[in-house]
Structure 1
Amino acid sequence: MELRDIEIFLAVAEELHFGRAAQKLHVSQARVSQSIKKQERRVGGLLFERTSRMVQLTPIGSRLRSDLREAYDLIQNGLATASGAAHGTFGTLRLGVMGVMGNEIRPLTAAFTARYPSCPVEVTEFHFSDPFSALRAGDVDVQLMWLPVREDDLTVGPVVRTEGRALAVPETCDLAGRQTVSLEDLAGRTTPDPGPEALGYWLRAMFPASTPGGRLIRRGPRARTCHELLTLVAAGQVVSPVNAHFTRYYTYPGVVYLPIEDAPPTEWALVWRTGRETPVIRAFAQLAQCYRHRPSAGRLGRPQMAAAV
C-alpha cells in the first residue's frame, strides 16, 4: 500500500466523510473513492459502511485504522527526525502560550525535546487582550492560538488541540442552576472587553457580538487576563465564554461554569511569522502533525490527544 493511499484511508477514517477527506488532502473526491475501493479489493472486505447519509468504519476498517495509524505516525516521526538532522536542527524554541496552555500541550513539547535534545522549549505567556504583539516583535518564535487567524504576515500551522467551551457566570446568576446553556442565552448580557489590541474577527470567535439569532451581546468592563476576567464574573459584572480547560484549572470562588451546548469547538493551532520559519519551527510543526485530537462537542471533559511515539 502506497503512503498516499494510507493517508487517504486515515483521512476518511477520521472525517467519516469522503468529501471532507478529499478537501483535507487537497485531492478530488473521485481519487479518494478509487483509493478506498482499491484498498478494499486488496484486503478482500469492506473497510467502510456507506449510505447516502453516513459513513462508518467496519470492524475490519477499525482494526486497520489502529494498525496503520501507529505505523504512519512512526513514518512521520522518522521523516521529521531525518529532516532535522539534515538541516542541523538546534537551538531554543520560544513558544508563546495563553495561560495554562503550555501544560495542556506538554506531551508535545516533551516529545519534541526528547527527539531534539539540542532544542529546549522556552514557554512565554501572552494574553488574549494582546494576541499578536509578542510574535510580531520576534519575542517568541511560534505561538499556540485559537483559530481563526487571518493575518497576511502570519502562517497558520497544524492544529494540535481541540476543546469545547463553557460559560462562566456568577453563582448568583439566573443561569447558574442550569445544566447547560446555549449561545442565545447570552442575549442582552454583558461580556468582558479585552481591549483594542485584540482584532475584531479573532475576538468575536470567542466573545461574539451577537447571538446566532442576531440579538445583541453587550461589551462591558476591560479584562486583559484570565484572572481579571474571572474577577469580573465573580463580581457579577459580566458573564464570559471560556474554553473548557478553564473548568479544570480555574476553580474560582463565586464562579460557575456551564457547558455551551451549541458553541463551536475551539481549535488551537501553531502560528509563526511568514518568511521566518526556521529548521526548529519546521521540526516542531512536523512533529505536531503526528498528534491527533478530537473535539469535546461542547462537553467539559478533557479532549483526547494521542502522543506521537
Structure 2
Amino acid sequence: MIRVERRDIEIFLTLADELSFTRTAERLHVTTARVSQTIKLLERRFGTPLFDRTSRRVVLTPVGRRLRDDLAPAFRQIEEAVARAVAAGRGIDGVLRVGFVGAAAGSFVLKVNARFATLHPSCEVRIRENQFGDALELLRSDEIDLLLAALPFAEPDLTAGDVLVRERTLLAVSSRHPFAKRRSVRLADLARVRVLASPPQVPGYWDDHLAPSPGSRGPAFSTIQEMLTLIGADQGVYPVAEQVNRYYLRPDVVYVPISDAPPIEWGLVWRTAGDTTRMRAYREAARDLAASGQGMD
C-alpha cells in the first residue's frame, strides 16, 4: 500500500492548479526544490509521470489529471473537517464585523463569509458597507473588526494583510473628455489633467500611489457615486479598479485602461492592537478563497 503524506498531496494539488513550480513554491512558502523533489517522489511511488514539464510549460498527464480530480474533493473535505475541529477547540464563536467599500468588494466579502460559515458555523459575521470617507474611522473606533480595502496602508495603528485580489487599473473620465476616445492612456498623461482628490480622511499617500504626478487636484469626493458624478460633470478624472466596468456603468463616464499603471490590490485591514482568533480565522478563509482563483466578480 502506497502511503502519501498530507503535505505531498497539498504540493501536488497546488502544482496542478498553478502549473508553475515557482508560483507553487511561493504559494506554499517552500522552495522550488522541495516542490520538484515531492513530485519526483510521487511519480516514483506511482510508477508513472504526473506532469509533462519542459523549460516553457508544465502540464498534467492523463494520470495526473485523474489523480487531481480524485484527490481534490476529498482533500478539501479533510481540510475543512480539521479546520472545524480546530475551531471547536479554540472556541471560534461570537460576532465578527466586516466592512467593505463598493459593490464588488461586497460580493467578495459574501463569498468569504460563505466559506467562513462552513468552517466556523458558531461565529456570526455581520457585514457593513462603508464609504471612502468613514471606513478608517469606523475601524479605529471599533465599529468594525476588519475592512476589505484597497492597498497600500501605512498607518501605525493599522495592519494590512496579504494581497487577496489584484485588478487592472482604469482611468474614469467624462464621456466628453479627450481621453474618452483613446484605447488607453499612460501615467504620464495624468500630468496634463485634473485628478479628483480622495476624502480628507483617506491618507494622502493613497492618491499619490494612484496618480503620482497629476496636473492638478480636483474636488474631493466621499462616495463612489459622488466621484462618478464629478467625473461625469468633467470636474476631474480618477484611477479606479477594473470592477467599476461591471458595477458602475454610466452614460456620462468612460473607463480607459492605464497601460503602465500597477494593478490595484485589495486586502483586509485591522487594528493592530485588536487582533483576535476570529479575525485570523476569517483572514485564513479569505486567503484560501483568493488562492482558489475567486476575486472581485
What's the CA shift string for 1:103-126, capped at 9, x where partnerless? 343222134335544433222233
* Residues 1:131 and 1:48: Cα distance change in structure 2 (over 3 Å): farther
In the other structure, the counterpart of 1:87 is 90
Matches within 5 A, 1:1-309: 1-43=4-46, 44-51=48-55, 54-60=56-62, 61-100=64-103, 101-113=105-117, 115-129=119-133, 131-205=135-209, 207-210=210-213, 216-292=214-290, 303=295
* Residues 1:257 and 1:78: Cα distance change in structure 2 (over 3 Å): same
1:140 Cα deviation from its structure 2 partner: 0.7
What's the CA shift string for 1:83-120, capped at 9, x where partnerless? 22112222221101112222343222134335544433
TM-score under structure 2 length normalisation: 0.82
Work out whether residues 161 and 293 of structure 1, in 8 Å CA contact, stay in contact via their aligned partners in 2: no
1:150 Cα deviation from its structure 2 partner: 4.1
Tell me the distance in 1 between the aligned counterparts of 2:11 and 2:158: 29
Tell me the distance in 2 between the aligned counterparts of 1:217 and 1:25: 43
TM-score under structure 1 length normalisation: 0.79
Work out whether residues 162 and 293 of structure 1, in 8 Å CA contact, stay in contact via their aligned partners in 2: no
Tell me the distance in 1 between the aligned counterparts of 2:281 and 2:157: 20
* Residues 1:291 and 1:186: Cα distance change in structure 2 (over 3 Å): same
Work out whether residues 174 and 231 of structure 2, in 8 Å CA contact, stay in contact via their aligned partners in 1: yes
What's the CA shift string for 1:58-106, capped at 9, x where partnerless? 3444554454443443333223211221122222211011122223432
Work out whether residues 100 and 109 of structure 2, in 8 Å CA contact, stay in contact via their aligned partners in 1: no
Work out whether residues 209 and 217 of structure 1, in 8 Å CA contact, stay in contact via their aligned partners in 2: no
Work out whether residues 108 and 296 of structure 2, in 8 Å CA contact, stay in contact via their aligned partners in 1: no
Query: Gaps (5+ residues) in structure 2?
Result: none
Most deviating of 83-92 and 6-15: 6-15
2:229 counterpart SS class: helix
Bigger-Rg structure (1/2) = 2
Tell me the distance in 1 between the aligned counterparts of 2:177 and 2:207: 24
* Residues 1:66 and 1:160: Cα distance change in structure 2 (over 3 Å): farther
In the other structure, the counterpart of 1:299 is none
Tell me the distance in 1 between the aligned counterparts of 2:198 and 2:252: 21
Work out whether residues 97 and 144 of structure 1, in 8 Å CA contact, stay in contact via their aligned partners in 2: yes
Tell me the distance in 1 between the aligned counterparts of 2:57 and 2:181: 38
Q: Percent same amino acid at aligned positions?
A: 41
1:141 Cα deviation from its structure 2 partner: 0.9
Tell me which stretches of 4 or more aligned residues in structure 1 moved more than 6 Å: none
Tell me the distance in 1 between the aligned counterparts of 2:289 and 2:233: 39
Work out whether residues 190 and 211 of structure 2, in 8 Å CA contact, stay in contact via their aligned partners in 1: no
Report the count of equivalent residues: 291
* Residues 1:112 and 1:26: Cα distance change in structure 2 (over 3 Å): closer
